[in-house]
């Protein structure tokens, strides 16, 4: 019996040692790789693809080597632009899916807007500057700003004359896009401005959402701060405004989307369904549908008045950072940490009721 125990005991010690070593390796993997995935800032790895359980994307475009932070559709529906952590903007032909231009930056590209005729692109970058590009040549024609931290968010007014920019140090500025001059600084400093949105009809309005959960509301011409709403979300990541300017939508780290009455500042309803940070919001032009993108790797379409989730689109395999909608051709575009741009048929998604 003693001889047998003398053999078994070293084997048990060896087995326990291998188990402990495996646990240590798992912890090291989490701190070096897993925590980077939560921050959304590391380069892409060969992570497994989540199997789709919703209606498939109409198109999937792959070229970026890191997370896609911003997507936008051109007014003439000819192009889609995507900005990435890999410090580039890709200009895609919508029909062919081919890249027409690659615009290089000296920092990650956090936000993009087209001007009204789609011939120029405006990009906000981690280098702290706003870049204006002529798309026919791919040449940079101007740089705005600098010295106020990273440019995190951009929005263009309905008349395509005024550009709003939000930065990592809380600065919100208005620019004349034609003369390229600074019009006014609305906020000099404060919490990071993660999202900006203009109304597209009626009295021009601008809203912003910041890192401390503040929703600020301005009327334009001339700019005037109407109200500041302290939301229950301690970090707002996304704001949107209906075309008429009567309703605001906000969302962030709580994962809950909140709807606000623009006139009274009252909370009117909440949309619950996402399981993680909601990073992007967009209303359709007819105001019937709200689109949301989330770190839970899904895009959702909502009948926001009925508080009903219409569709949950699950083909991304990473945080969804940005969504953009084009009502004229019924398409929805999303960009994700997985480095992919997905183009969805919005008309089909609108009838996909989630059970």
Give residue-wise pLDDT tens across range 290-305: 999 999 999 999 999 9
Gap between the Cα atoms of 289 and 302, Å rounded:
5
User: Encoding tokens for residue 331?
Assistant: 């398409």
Is residue 272 within 8 Å of residue 254, measured between CB atoms? no
Report pLDDT for 315. 87
Pairwise CA distance, residues 188 & 327, whole Å: 36
Pair 311, 40: CB distance under 8 Å: no
DSSP 345: E
Taken in order 32, 33, 36, 41, is the CA torsion positive or negative? positive
The pLDDT value recorded for residue 112 is 97
* CA dist., res. 193 & res. 203, Å (int): 23
Half-sphere exposure of 143 (CA within 13 A, CB side): 10
Q: Which pair of structure tokens corresponds to residue 119?
A: 């011939």
- pLDDT score for 309: 94
- What is the reported pLDDT for 1? 42
Report pLDDT for 47. 27
Below-50 pLDDT ranges, the chain: 1-54, 353-355
């Amino acid at each position: 019996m003693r001889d047998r125990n003398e053999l078994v005991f070293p084997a048990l010690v060896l087995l326990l040692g291998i188990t402990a070593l495996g646990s240590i390796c798992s912890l090291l993997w989490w701190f070096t790789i897993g925590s980077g995935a939560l921050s959304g800032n590391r380069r892409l790895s060969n992570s497994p693809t989540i199997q789709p359980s919703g209606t498939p994307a109409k198109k999937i475009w792959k070229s970026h080597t890191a997370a896609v932070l911003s997507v936008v559709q051109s007014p003439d529906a000819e192009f889609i632009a995507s900005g990435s952590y890999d410090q580039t903007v890709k200009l895609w032909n919508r029909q062919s899916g081919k890249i027409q231009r690659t615009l290089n930056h000296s920092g990650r590209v956090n936000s993009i807007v087209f001007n009204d005729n789609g011939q120029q692109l405006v990009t906000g970058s981690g280098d702290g500057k706003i870049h204006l590009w002529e798309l026919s040549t791919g040449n940079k024609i101007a740089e705005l700003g600098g010295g106020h931290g990273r440019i995190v968010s951009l929005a263009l007014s309905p008349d395509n004359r005024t550009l709003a920019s939000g930065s990592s140090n809380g600065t919100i500025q208005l620019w004349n896009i034609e003369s390229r001059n600074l019009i006014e600084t609305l906020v000099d400093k404060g919490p990071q401005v993660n999202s900006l949105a203009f109304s597209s009809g009626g009295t021009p309005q601008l809203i912003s959402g910041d890192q401390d959960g503040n929703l600020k509301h301005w009327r334009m011409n001339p700019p005037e701060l109407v109200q500041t709403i302290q939301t229950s979300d301690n970090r707002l990541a996304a704001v949107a405004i209906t075309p008429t300017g009567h309703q605001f939508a906000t969302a962030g780290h709580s994962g809950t989307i909140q709807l606000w009455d623009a006139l009274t500042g009252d909370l009117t309803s909440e949309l619950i369904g996402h399981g993680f940070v909601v990073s992007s919001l967009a209303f359709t032009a007819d105001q019937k549908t709200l689109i949301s993108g989330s770190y839970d790797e899904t895009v959702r379409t909502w009948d926001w008045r009925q508080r009903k989730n219409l569709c949950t689109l699950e083909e991304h395999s990473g945080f969804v950072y940005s969504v953009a909608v084009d009502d004229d051709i019924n398409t929805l575009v999303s960009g994700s940490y997985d480095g992919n741009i997905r183009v969805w048929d919005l008309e089909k998604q609108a009838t996909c009721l989630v059970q």
